[in-house]
Each structure stands twice: as structure tokens, then as C-alpha cells.
Amino acid sequence: MVYAFNEESAFRQELSLLVLLVPIAFFLPVSHLEKAILISALILVLVVELLNSSVEAAIDRISFEHHDLSKRAKDFGSAAVMLALLIAALLWLTVCIPIVFNL
């Protein structure tokens, strides 16, 4: 994880998001299960980002030449990160909107 922090700006951004939102999750007036789900969603983003970085590193290790399959693998990894971010956003919005609007 130290290498990912030092070398991957996306990982640092997502880790910053986790550092910012975890304390907020602890202070939200929700159940322990909801807090665990909110924090787990953020951790899921980091896990998927690490897997994406692994795929990219392996592909770059094999060859820097442009190849359609390499591009596809990198695009799929990026799409997986985007989906993990969407899941996290959906969960946070689902929990926070009723609190903000007193629903």
C-alpha cells in the first residue's frame, strides 16, 4: 500500500476521501450496520483501485507497445473503479439524504 500511496495519484485521492468520510460516518445518527456499510463502501473503492493498479502495472511490465487487448484490460479496470465509486456514492446518498432533509 505504501507503493500505491507514493506512485498512484488516484489511490491518494480515494484514500483522502476515506480519511475525510470515515469520521463523518461515525458521527452520523445511523445504526452501526449503516456505518459499517458506509465505511465498507469506501474500503471497496480502495480495493478495486489497488486491483486496477495491479492490472496496469502488469500490462506495462509486459510491454509499452499499444495493443487493443492491453487497452481493453486497462479500460475495464478503470470502469471497475468507477462502478465502485458509484456504489459508494449511492450508499452514502441513500443514508445521508433522509438525514439532511428529515425524511
Residue ranges per structural domain of the chain: 29-100
Look at residue 63 in the predicted model and tell me its pLDDT. 77
Q: Output b/e per residue, 65-78; b: 16+ Cβ within 10 A.
A: eeeeebeebeeebb
- Residue 80 CA, distance from chain mean position: 9
pTM of the model: 0.91
Look at residue 10 in the predicted model and tell me its pLDDT. 94
Annotated catalytic, 56?
Answer: no
CA-nearest of 92, 6, 91, 88 to 46 is 88
Look at residue 103 in the predicted model and tell me its pLDDT. 73
Catalytic member of 8, 34, 49, 56: 49
pLDDT under 70: residue ranges of the chain: none
Query: Is 3.30.300.30 the CATH number for 29-100?
Result: no
